[in-house]
Chain A
Amino acid sequence: MYPDPQVARLISDQLEPVRVHVRDQKDEYQRLSGRYNAQWTPTILILDSEGQERHRIEGFLPVDDFLAQVTLGLAKSAFQGRDYADAEHRYREIVDRFPASDAAPEALYWAGVSKYKGSGDAAALTATAEAFRHRYQGTAWAKKASVWG
């Protein structure tokens, strides 16, 4: 994953990359794996600027899925920080760039929520329910959005 230029660019441009090795840094691994309850490798956490966990990736992923998951973590961080415009932009980027990824239905759902939270306009939720009628049917996120239709 990391040698891919898109992955390297996303991480280098938007995040502070920290790597803790299970055996080469035993003390640090024990301290941080206890703090964040990491019990498997690879476990990759997206933390906000205060060190709070916002997203977790466990196990290896192909490049596009990994890019989608990292972007999902950035979107969740923006949402938690109440920057709803940035969150919506990042969630929609996942749907547009990685529509076949597992992260896409979740991103479509939260893009609608972000737009609603930022605007107060419930039409954002109605539009999201409508979008789910055309894609990602059968996912939990489509079921959750169905009440808005």
Chain B
Amino acid sequence: MFQCSMSNVEFALFPADSALSDDRVTIEERGRNMPTASSSITWSHDFDSALARARDSKRGILLDFTAAPM
């Protein structure tokens, strides 16, 4: 994998035969969300529990379908 950065966007180039060859994955997404020290979002991976919390708190949900490395 080759990494470079430009402004506030990070790119990572993966080999064509990497695990990220799914046709649903955009080139941009291959490079986004690379872990950094500044990331402070605590993601849930349990939608039903998040929905229960949302109902209690009356907050909305941001649901991200992703293929980026986690």
A48 to B60, CA, bound (A): 4
B66 touches A22 (CB 8 A): yes
A16 touches B61 (CB 8 A): yes
What number of A-B contacts does a CB cutoff of 8 Å give? 163
List, in ascending order, chain A residues with CB within 8 A of B41's CB.
2, 8, 11-12, 17
Q: Interface size on B (CB < 8 Å)?
A: 43
Binary A-proximity of B10-21 (CB < 8 A = 1, otherwise 0)? 100000000100
Q: How large is the interface on A (under 10, 10 to 19, 20 to 34, 35 or more residues)?
A: 35 or more
Q: Is the interface of A mostly helix, strand, loop or mixed?
A: mixed
A131 to B59, CA, bound (A): 32
B61 touches A18 (CB 8 A): yes
A32 to B64, CA, bound (A): 11
Contact residues of B between 28 and 56, Cβ < 8 Å to A? 28-29, 32-36, 38-47, 50-51, 53-55
**A19: Cβ under 8 A from any B Cβ:** yes
Which residues of A are interface residues toward B (Cβ below 8 A)? 1-5, 8-9, 11-12, 14-25, 28-29, 32-33, 36, 38-51, 54, 59-60, 62-63, 70, 73-74, 77
7 closest cross-chain pairs (CB), A and B: A60-B28, A47-B61, A19-B43, A22-B67, A15-B62, A3-B36, A41-B67
22 contacts between A and B (CB under 8 A): A2-B41, A3-B10, A3-B33, A14-B60, A16-B51, A16-B59, A16-B61, A20-B66, A21-B66, A22-B66, A29-B65, A41-B24, A41-B25, A42-B26, A42-B32, A44-B65, A46-B61, A47-B54, A47-B62, A48-B61, A49-B60, A60-B26
